[in-house]
Structure 1
């Protein structure tokens, strides 16, 4: 039986409390590794590290998931900070951008989720719209809306029909990064997924597949990583 592909998932450092302990922790919602496992992969968590380690890390992986989280620092795409943009996660930005660049250089399949899609765009020279309304269910509550695939794209080959997805974002891609093309839209015209043209497997989705039951996007990554 062929071995399952090893899928690295980025995490973040946050204060956490469990049992009698309250300490800094490497955190990731359990829904991420469970989605990887449901799709047939082995999940490995990768907290922020020195950007120079990214090439070595990617060399040990079959696929990479860049998870959701804090807003990308606008300085990363040459913009002034909008007052509604959240605090910068400087260490995480540097680490995950290095991982994306190393994965693209190595041809390692990449899936960006929410913030991860935005970082993929920034890594390729794109910019972000720093605020839009209507794509959350309120503070700390996931919303839902429909996304429609663009025919003929990688995403459309994975999910061929319009679907309702769990969503929680207030930013989106603005100018597309080099080589990226939109592959799904929300009903209000927001770009909800992007993919890299050519032979490398790189896909970003603006919603949170780990919060739903549709495993097809993650299955696509796992197949490519196999």
Structure 2
């Protein structure tokens, strides 16, 4: 239950560490990314990714720096009930899926690559729910042996999936195309309709699916826009668009984050029984 305390600035609402059911809130691991500012190296996580995890999934984020390697992955994962891999401005190192780098002008974050790919394998082996957005979905694909289109915009028949950098942020994140659900899947049932509108802010996309991955949705040009691992008992979902953007105003985004949060709560309940 929430409570308040008095401070010099009046009353401050304190958030309980327990859910309305009385169980502990799920803890979710989020890996951070590299950013340089004024000659200093930062590890960062954008607020827009954390907000729906807290407000709609009902989870507590734990941020992991990726710049110190993956030696402590087991320790991180022992603390959490789910893994949430976000988007980022960087591309995955193409050598990890057997290609030369065709976009040398784009930022890479090899520390995050070296952290997240083994993180994915370990989380899946532990049965932890996993949700990936944009780069996070691409990491899931590469971790499982899939590869990528590095330049979607150069592939005949593919639409322009990149944002207009000259536009406002609101315009960049506006819905610009639809994705069609694969029929008779749990994701189609979750979305409650055959097609949904989505934003599009990526220059790369899945070419070949990784081992065990199956598509859940496609763009109008056939690009894979959502994936899962049907052979895994736990929740697994990767989406290429950005459901975190103004999630509170998007019923499809809310359903995704609630489903992930519910899966993480099931993990908490399992742990409490053991």
TM-score between the two structures when normalised by the length of structure 2: 0.76
Of residues 18, 37, 44, the one that matches 2:54 is 37
Q: Deviations over 1:138-190 (max 9, x none)?
A: 12733532112112323223213222122211111111101000001111111
Paired residues of 1:7 and 1:65 also in contact (CA < 8 A): yes
Residue 8, structure 1, aligned to residue 29, structure 2: yes
Aligned with 2:216 (options 169, 174, 183): 183
Provide the rounded CA distance (Å) in 2 between the counterparts of 1:205 and 1:170: 14
Structure 2 unmatched runs, 5+: 1-21, 154-159, 167-171, 248-252, 266-274
SS of residue in 1 equivalent to 2:187 = helix
Structure 1 84/191 Cα, relative in aligned 2: closer, same or farther at 3 Å?
farther
Q: Aligned with 1:71: secondary structure?
A: coil
List gaps (5 residues or longer) in structure 1: none
Pick the aligned partner of 1:77 from 90, 94, 97. 97
The reply on whether 1:142 has 2:142 as its aligned counterpart is no
The answer to whether 1:203 aligns with 2:232 is no
Counterpart-to-counterpart distance in 2, 1:41 and 1:157: 23
Distance 1:62 1:224, change over 3 A: same
Q: Which residue of 2 aligns with 1:170?
A: 203
Deviations 1:2-55 (A, max 9, x none): 2211112221121247xxxx7432211101111101121112222203212212
Question: Which has the higher mean CA deviation after the structures are superposed, 8-17 or 188-197?
Answer: 8-17
Specify the alignment match of 1:50 in structure 2: 69
Secondary structure class of the residue paired with 2:152: coil
Structure 1 partner of 2:44: 27
> Matched residue pairs, number?
222
Equivalent pair of 1:4/1:42 in contact (CA under 8 Å): yes
Does structure 2 conserve the Cα–Cα contact (< 8 Å) formed by 1:166 and 1:211?
A: no
SS at match of 1:51: coil
Larger radius of gyration: 2
Q: Describe the shift of the 1:46–1:154 C-alpha distance in structure 2 as closer, same or farther (beyond 3 A).
A: farther
Question: RMSD over aligned Cα, in angstroms?
Answer: 1.8
